[in-house]
Amino acid sequence: MEYRNIGSLRTSVLGIGGLHFGTLCDQAAATRIVHRALDAGVNFIDTAPLYGNGYSEGFIGNAIRGRRHDVVVATKVGLEPSKAKDGSFGVSVIPLSKKNILSSIEKSLRALGTDYIDLYQVHAFDSGIPIEDTMATLDGLVQEGKIRCIGCSNYLRGELGKATAAIRKGGASFVSFQAHYNLIERRAEQEVLPDCLKYGVGIICNRPLARGILTGKYKTGQLLPQGSRAVTSYRIRRWLSESTLLLVTALEELAQRHGRTVAEMAIAWLLAQRGISVVLAGARNLQQLEVNIRATGWILSNEDLAEVDVVIEKMNLMPQVKAMPETLFEK
């Protein structure tokens, strides 16, 4: 397993995303995945109060009990689950006031069963609270020892610069930026990655497999695979255009010529991009996790990367993949 630095943290290049712990994964499955990942050298686990309809942090806390010091734990503040009368879950935006941040971190610490968080991330930019106040509160938690490093996610162009300018002298600054980024969702290349490189902020990629589309399981002219997320998610189905699926098929054929899967290629491609620190890959079972782990051993050469570009450009899809829609609250 390769490791890279995010601020003072030493993290594996592959991270476990806890989005579905508590929904698609029960506690037993989550524990199996986390333990196997740790045994393979994966030390980065990312979660949030929002994830798993509010259960993810607790599931992870249970899974890492007795192994806390083997793990770089990352969680977030700013979004929490809300339950409607019909039992469905939505998203509640929590203003980033000092009171709310302090309350949220205490809840996360209890759920995770720890007295410190390695990477505490602002889940989304809050224009209603002065960014200076948010940064000062986070810095206070760093000084107190409850946080080792701070990061952000879902910021738009220019917002990272605002946060950087708001840091008081000697205060903690963001060391990471979590972004949606993959082979068919590349708006981040124009929107946020340049700012990350400018300010020396490590990039954490989530949705590396584009909600499962880059596994190759969805095919043109075929029914949706039974049990796949697209069966119940309109948000995924709206991505399954013929042109996107044809692109995935072409990438899959390229990966197979290397004796690899398209999922492995998607992760390896991200790890070859400048400024990438961690690729977060969710797994619903051990089989999916093993594919993600194998991908970290594939180091793409410049020639390999050029082949990928040729496939995309040949299909005249480069403008499309750089403008795929992003939705902040998308699960």
Query: CA 223 to CA 210: how far, in whole Å?
Result: 19
165 residue type, one letter: A
Query: CA 212 to CA 292: how far, in whole Å?
Result: 12
Q: What is the mean pLDDT of residues 55-70?
A: 96
pLDDT for 45 beyond 50: yes
pLDDT for 326 beyond 70: no
Q: If pLDDT is split at 50, 70 and 90, which confidence band does 317 have?
A: low
pLDDT of 182-204, one tens digit each? 998 888 888 889 999 999 999 99
User: Measured at the alpha carbon of residue 158, what is the angle toward residues 157 and 163, in degrees to the nearest 5?
Assistant: 125
More confident residue, 191 or 25: 25
Catalytic residue numbers read 51
Q: If pLDDT is split at 50, 70 and 90, which confidence band does 157 have?
A: confident
Q: How far is CA 73 from CA 116, 128, 236, 257, 262, in A?
A: 9, 28, 28, 37, 28
Q: What is the mean pLDDT of residues 268-287?
A: 94
Q: What is the pLDDT of residue 231?
A: 63
More confident residue, 184 or 220: 184
Q: If pLDDT is split at 50, 70 and 90, which confidence band does 316 have?
A: low
Question: Measured in Å, how far apart are the chain's first and last C-alpha atoms?
Answer: 28
Q: What is the mean pLDDT of residues 256-267?
A: 94
Lowest average pLDDT, out of 21-30, 61-70, 239-248, 250-259, goes to 239-248
pLDDT for 300 beyond 70: yes
Q: Note the pTM of the prediction, 2 decimals.
A: 0.89
Q: What is the pLDDT of residue 230?
A: 63
Domain residue spans of the chain? 3-209+261-300
Q: What is the mean pLDDT of residues 86-102?
A: 90
Residue range 3-209+261-300 forms a domain whose CATH class is alpha beta
pLDDT for 41 beyond 70: yes
Q: If pLDDT is split at 50, 70 and 90, which confidence band does 69 have?
A: very high
